[in-house]
Amino acid sequence: MKLHGYFRSSASYRVRIALNLKGLSADHLPHHLRKGEQRDPAYLAINPQGLVPTLQDRDTVITQSLAIIEWLEETQPTPPLLPKDPLRRAHVRAFALALACDTHPVQNLKVLARLRQLGLPEEAVTGWAAWANSEGLAACEALIKKEPGPFCFGEAPTMADLCLVPQLANARRFGVDIAAYPRLLKAEAAAKNLKAFADAAPECQPDAE
């Protein structure tokens, strides 16, 4: 398998964690987002959106991080990243989507670059990113407040944790006071104790800067 990504990409980070938890190896092919390498015609032929990650497995090409993770879950079900109970599965997916679809996209590099193009000062751009993170994390804190943990949903990591850990990294980068989210920090601490999460961290990637 080949994973097209970028060390700081939250979406790529999610997939790296999933691969590690499943015990799967992939050749990591970096595309420097700040240099626009994701818009290279050769890469656009693989992923027309010009986004990362993209997973290639022989002739199979899968885009979008959660679609990749769901495919890995269906083809390599051990260890599971979703609970057996249908309602619990829905809750895990809802949490993951709150971050992957409603939080991360509105503070990613593409959006922030557009805000700069529209003339917003850097302080306002960073403030926007911090606001987006704060709003999403506050909602997720409430979603799992009554979950005993230590992970987001129980005693083992799920797709929710795969989305949470990269998003908290983003929040820190934009200066968010994450102390306001103790339940999320509890889940993050449990996750970071696992080698699969530690090895997937941005600073551990070959293209890290």
Of 79, 114, 145, which marks where a domain is finished? 79
Inter-residue contact 29 to 205 (CB < 8 Å): no
Flag whether the pTM goes above 0.85: yes
Tell which residue, 157, 169, 2, has the closest CA to residue 99: 169
CB atoms within 10 A of CB 125: 19
Inter-residue contact 164 to 152 (CB < 8 Å): yes
Number of residues in the chain: 209
Q: What is the per-residue pLDDT for 170?
A: 97
Residues 123 and 138 in one domain: yes
Residue that is written with structure tokens 């390498």 in the block: 37
What residue spans of 4-85 are helical by DSSP H?
10-22, 41-44, 65-75
Q: What is the per-residue pLDDT for 9?
A: 98
The domain total for the chain is 2
Per-residue pLDDT of the chain (209 residues; tens, 9 = 90+): 999 999 999 999 999 999 999 999 999 999 999 999 999 999 999 999 999 999 999 999 999 999 999 999 999 999 999 999 999 999 999 999 999 999 999 999 999 999 999 999 999 999 999 999 999 999 999 999 999 999 999 999 999 999 999 999 999 999 999 999 999 999 999 999 999 999 999 999 999 99
Write the CATH number for 190.
1.20.1050.10
Residues 38 and 109 in one domain: no
Q: What is the per-residue pLDDT for 68?
A: 98
Q: What is the per-residue pLDDT for 184?
A: 98
Q: What is the per-residue pLDDT for 95?
A: 98
Residue 116: domain span: 86-196
Q: What is the per-residue pLDDT for 24?
A: 98
Write the CATH number for 62.
3.40.30.10
